[in-house]
């Protein structure tokens, strides 16, 4: 179906009043900037019209508009005419067999979920007001080209423009079924909602993922009730192969009927899914980024973060990173790239064992490495020279590709061993699709023994180097082959 109007913006008249300085009103400014953005992505100027609450001339038949953008404010929700415009548009598109979400709600001022029109509550919103991330204070923009506007207003504007662009592309008659499939049948990622202090960072990552062709969930506002929220998050996680969680200073909003925040609940449910899929070979991984700057974190938030770092169950299937955001984004890109053809090619190789050892123990480790090679295994070993990020990526690649793992304790302390054992627990979060067949800790001759009981729950066998370590290792390898 061809549409006469690409975007129809409906608003309360008071939201477009001028300041008396011969400057356009807020909604007119918004239209100007949206038109500029859409022209860039569409390659042509879109037809965008304004319709005030008392405007009975512009687009009297709302079924000739492809997209509706209601500008929400307290004046809007108190206007019967504005609410009628929304209802009329929904009734006009109900019979459209090509119907997807064609309404994009924009907030000029904050509104709680219960204050919003029922038709619009589940839709994702675009907050076009100024939010101080530290104090939470709301202010209207007076300078659209300030640093704060660049971080908030323009990022939201870019998000809105690209989301409208995809819908316009979907609705145009020239879009073939194959093109529609390319746009909408993509790998799905659950990008968890964050506290208010990380909303900008979340939008940056969301926009980048969308540009690379990923579907992002949740694609609606999360319910305010804990029971409904958990049902929706579980449903979204079931549709996703990866979840990304950004943890900052703010603990986040607490839904009705819960003592935990939305951020906490999403992480808990993603951890539950990781445990569920561990045994059945399904594809699901998790990336958790913790902000390096937690100066303003509350005691409750600090406790939540410490639990993520220490609780083995909370870490199930997750890679946890506390790095600068740009480093995290690089790792995220590598995760997504490795999930395709590269991973498939590595899985065709013979059985491999990752022999984890420290640089200081390399010479003592060589006889064990040679023994493993003579037994017919490919040996993966860590890199010791290069940039820190490159060394870490090599370590992650080995954790992805290994079939079995051996941790060698020579000059290192037991804390180092525990960290490597924890990495093996987290390996599913690095993109593994298959279980680790066998795991062991080998202690070097003359080194401090480790407590075998403390590793039994992780299925890690301890081979004591003070005894006949070579023979014990050979037995371990034979069992591995069986």
The pLDDT assigned to 182 comes to 36
CB atoms within 10 A of CB 179: 13
Are 332 and 357 found together in one domain?
A: no
Q: How many domains does the chain have?
A: 3
Whether residue 397 lies inside any domain: the answer is yes
Residue 318 contacts residue 271 (beta carbons within 8 Å):
yes
Find the DSSP H helices in 245-361. 262-278, 299-310, 325-337, 343-346
The pLDDT assigned to 317 comes to 67
Any idea what the CATH number is for the domain that residue 108 is in?
3.40.50.10140
The pLDDT assigned to 265 comes to 93
Give me the domain span that covers residue 379: 349-481
d(CA 482, CA 469): 20
Of residues 406, 458, 403, the one with CA closest to residue 436: 403
Site of tokens 């704060």:
148
Give the DSSP per-residue string, 238-270. HT-SEEEEEE-S------BT-SS-HHHHHHHHH
Residue 375 contacts residue 324 (beta carbons within 8 Å):
no
Are 236 and 252 found together in one domain?
A: yes
Task: Name the domain boundary from 118, 139, 174.
Answer: 174
Go through the chain and tell me how many residues it has.
482
Residue 319 contacts residue 298 (beta carbons within 8 Å):
no
Centroid of chain to Cα 456: 33
Are 369 and 409 found together in one domain?
A: yes
d(CA 156, CA 126): 6
d(CA 128, CA 80): 23
Any idea what the CATH number is for the domain that residue 243 is in?
3.40.50
Are 379 and 474 found together in one domain?
A: yes
Are 438 and 451 found together in one domain?
A: yes
Are 18 and 87 found together in one domain?
A: yes
Of residues 285, 314, 103, the one with CA closest to residue 187: 285
Task: Name the domain boundary from 174, 196, 216.
Answer: 174
Are 276 and 382 found together in one domain?
A: no
Widest CA span in the chain: 92
Whether residue 181 lies inside any domain: the answer is no
Whether residue 179 lies inside any domain: the answer is no
The pLDDT assigned to 103 comes to 92
Are 248 and 313 found together in one domain?
A: yes
Partnered with residue 70 across adjacent β-strands are 10
d(CA 68, CA 88): 11
Backbone phi, psi, residue 111, to 5°? -140, 135
Are 95 and 213 found together in one domain?
A: no
Are 241 and 365 found together in one domain?
A: no
**pLDDT values of the chain reduced to their tens digit, one per residue, 482 residues:** 678 899 999 999 999 988 766 778 899 989 998 998 888 777 788 999 999 988 877 766 677 889 999 999 999 999 999 999 999 898 888 766 455 689 999 999 888 888 999 889 888 888 888 766 566 677 776 666 665 555 667 777 878 888 888 888 888 754 443 333 333 335 889 999 998 888 878 887 887 787 677 888 998 888 889 999 999 999 999 988 889 999 988 888 899 999 999 999 999 999 888 888 766 656 788 889 988 888 888 888 888 888 887 766 556 667 888 888 877 887 787 777 665 444 444 443 458 899 999 988 998 888 888 888 888 888 999 988 877 667 877 888 888 888 889 999 988 888 888 888 888 877 766 666 677 888 999 988 778 778 888 787 778 888 886 666 777 888 888 877 76
Task: Name the domain boundary from 347, 374, 398.
Answer: 347
Are 36 and 161 found together in one domain?
A: yes
Whether residue 97 lies inside any domain: the answer is yes
Site of tokens 């220490």:
310
d(CA 363, CA 381): 13
d(CA 312, CA 351): 27
Residue 375 contacts residue 400 (beta carbons within 8 Å):
no
Whether residue 180 lies inside any domain: the answer is no
Whether residue 332 lies inside any domain: the answer is yes
Of residues 480, 479, 344, 345, the one with CA closest to residue 404: 480
- pTM for this prediction: 0.52
Are 203 and 313 found together in one domain?
A: yes
């Amino acid at each position: 179906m061809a549409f006469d109007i690409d975007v129809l913006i409906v608003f309360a008249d008071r939201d477009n009043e001028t300041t008396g300085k011969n400057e356009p009103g807020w909604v007119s400014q918004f239209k100007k900037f949206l038109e500029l953005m859409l022209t860039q992505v569409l390659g042509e100027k879109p037809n965008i019209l304004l319709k005030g609450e008392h405007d009975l001339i512009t687009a009297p038949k709302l079924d000739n508009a492809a997209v509706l953008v209601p500008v929400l404010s307290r004046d809007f929700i108190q206007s019967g005419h504005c609410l009628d415009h929304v209802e009329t548009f929904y009734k006009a598109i109900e019979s459209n067999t090509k119907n997807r979400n064609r309404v994009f709600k924009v907030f000029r001022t904050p509104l709680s979920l219960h204050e919003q029109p029922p038709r619009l509550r589940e839709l994702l919103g675009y907050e076009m007001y100024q939010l101080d991330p530290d104090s939470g204070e709301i202010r209207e923009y007076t300078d659209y080209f300030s640093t704060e506007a660049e971080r908030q207003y323009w990022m939201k504007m870019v998000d809105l423009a690209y989301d409208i662009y995809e819908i316009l592309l979907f609705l145009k008659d020239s879009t073939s079924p194959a093109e529609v499939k390319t746009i909408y049948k993509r790998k799905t990622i659950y990008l968890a909602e964050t506290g208010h202090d990380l909303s900008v960072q979340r939008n940056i990552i969301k926009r980048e993922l969308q540009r690379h062709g990923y579907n992002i969930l949740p694609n609606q506002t999360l319910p305010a009730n804990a029971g409904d929220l958990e049902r929706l998050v579980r449903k979204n996680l079931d549709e996703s192969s990866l979840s990304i969680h950004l943890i900052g200073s703010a603990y986040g909003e607490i839904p009705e009927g819960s003592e935990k925040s939305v951020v906490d609940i999403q992480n808990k449910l993603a951890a539950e899914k990781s445990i569920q899929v561990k045994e059945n070979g399904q594809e699901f991984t998790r990336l958790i980024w913790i902000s390096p700057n937690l100066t303003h974190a509350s005691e409750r938030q600090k406790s939540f973060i410490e639990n993520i770092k220490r609780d083995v169950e909370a870490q199930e299937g997750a890679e946890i990173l506390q790095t600068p955001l740009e480093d995290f984004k690089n790792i995220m890109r590598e995760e997504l790239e490795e999930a395709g053809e590269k991973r498939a090619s590595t899985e065709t190789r013979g059985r491999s064992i990752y022999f984890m050892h420290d640089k200081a123990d390399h010479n003592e480790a060589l006889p064990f490495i040679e023994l493993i090679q003579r037994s017919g295994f490919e040996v993966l070993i860590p890199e010791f020279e290069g940039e820190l990020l490159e060394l870490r990526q090599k370590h992650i690649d080995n954790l992805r590709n290994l079939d079995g793992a051996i941790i060698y304790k020579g000059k290192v302390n037991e804390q180092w061993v525990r960290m490597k054992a924890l990495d093996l627990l987290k390996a599913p979060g690095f993109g593994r699709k298959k279980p680790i067949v066998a795991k062991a800790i080998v202690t070097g001759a003359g080194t401090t023994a480790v407590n075998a009981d403390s590793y039994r729950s992780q299925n890690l066998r301890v081979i004591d180097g003070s005894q006949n370590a070579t023979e014990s290792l050979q037995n371990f390898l034979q069992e591995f082959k069986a």
